[in-house]
Amino acid sequence: MIDLHTHSTASDGTLEPEALVELAAQKKLTAIALTDHDTVAGVARAQAAGGTLGVEVVPGVELSVGSERGALHLLGYFVRPEDAGLRAKLDQWCAVRQERARLMVEKLAELGIEISYAKVEVAAGSGSVGRPHVAREMMRVKAVRSVEEAFERYLRRGKPAYVPREMPEAEEAIGLIRSAGGVAVLAHPATLWLKGAELEARVKELRAQGLEGIEVHWSGHSPRQRQELLVLAKKLSVVATGGSDFHGENKPGIQLGSGRRGNVRVPEAVLQALRGLAGKRE
Ligand code: AMP
Ligand code: FE
Ligand code: FE
Ligand code: ZN
């Protein structure tokens, strides 16, 4: 079994990179991709643990792209973590995230919820800060009982403590992944809230910008959505990838290697296909 979409404490997962790989080994996974939001800070640690435990760790990243509708996320597989161009952009986006988290803490204070930005920053550690870190601090001061509740009442788009974040265009994000040696894949297409011909047109547009895969086997996709996405991937000749989107305790319903709606079974051939595409990038 393999899982090509996971998060560690380098972004908004709750397991340290080493602990994530240990869990993967316990679950007898042969490979995982570490795809933290806007950071590759956990990759080296995960790979070191993977070397010891016999789990392949694919270097990855997940980038957010501006989208009128829903959420457009791109996964970058086999990026070179030390790539200077990649590092510079990720640092910039992490700084934007910090400023946004600070503004959210201010908004919460106006709403009577006093949390400390310094604590949020400490909880986020050295990688990227995100709303789940704010949510956990809200839990700690007993303003909410769960991350889910923090999002539903305060942090989601449209809710009172929401602050928008500046995001790159798809073309820039795809270009960045490719220039760092990686393969760009559209994460969880369902979150675009597009169907049929509209979704196909959007994926074609992204493919013209260098996209080479779409995430089909994802914990939040229903069996029917997976089937439709598999057909779309074949039709457009892009790789049909998959992963759980494991975040540890920040998304308690999702297990490593499987998800809320049944197992996420990712064919091992997907990894070879991605490796092949990345190999051509040299
Ligand atoms: P951010 O990157 O700061 O915009 O926060 C988005 C992250 O929050 C996503 O990557 C998810 O991990 C998490 N998230 C989004 N919506 C929810 C939700 N309703 N409940 C729990 N976590 C969520
Ligand atoms: Fe996340
Ligand atoms: Fe995502
Ligand atoms: Zn993710």
Query: Ligand 1 centre and the CA of 179: distance in Å?
Result: 27
| Cβ of 248 less than 6 Å from ligand 1 | no
Query: Ligand 1 centre and the CA of 44: distance in Å?
Result: 24
| Cβ of 151 less than 6 Å from ligand 1 | yes
Bridge partners (DSSP) listed for residue 61: 76
Distance CA 73, CA 189 (A): 8
Place of tokens 């809710």: 159
- Please give the torsion angle defined by the CA atoms of residues 218, 222, 223 and 228, in that order, rounded to the nearest 10 degrees: -80
| Cβ of 133 less than 6 Å from ligand 1 | no
Ligand 1 mutation target, pool 5, 7, 9, 12, most atoms within 8 A of CB: 12
| Cβ of 60 less than 6 Å from ligand 1 | no
Ligand with smallest separation from the Cα of 94: 1
Distances, alpha carbon 51 to alpha carbons 10, 21, 26, 39, 273, in Å: 19, 10, 15, 21, 22
Query: Ligand 1 centre and the CA of 247: distance in Å?
Result: 10
Please list the pLDDT of the chain residue by residue as tens digits (282 residues). 999 999 999 999 999 999 999 999 999 999 999 999 999 999 999 999 999 999 999 999 999 999 988 999 999 999 999 999 999 999 999 999 999 999 999 999 999 999 999 999 999 988 999 999 999 999 999 999 999 999 999 999 999 999 999 999 999 999 999 999 999 999 999 999 999 999 999 999 999 999 999 999 999 999 999 999 999 999 999 999 999 999 999 999 999 997 555 578 899 999 999 999 999 876
* Residue located nearest, by CA, to atom 14 of ligand 1: 132
With a CB cutoff of 8 Å and minimum separation 6, the contacts of 179 are 83, 85, 86
What pLDDT is stored for residue 261 in this prediction? 53
Backbone torsion region of residue 188, taken as left when φ is above 0, otherwise alpha when ψ lies between -120 and 50, otherwise beta:
left
Query: Ligand 1 centre and the CA of 54: distance in Å?
Result: 31
Distance CA 24, CA 115 (A): 34
Query: Ligand 2 centre and the CA of 37: distance in Å?
Result: 7
* Residue located nearest, by CA, to atom 3 of ligand 1: 130
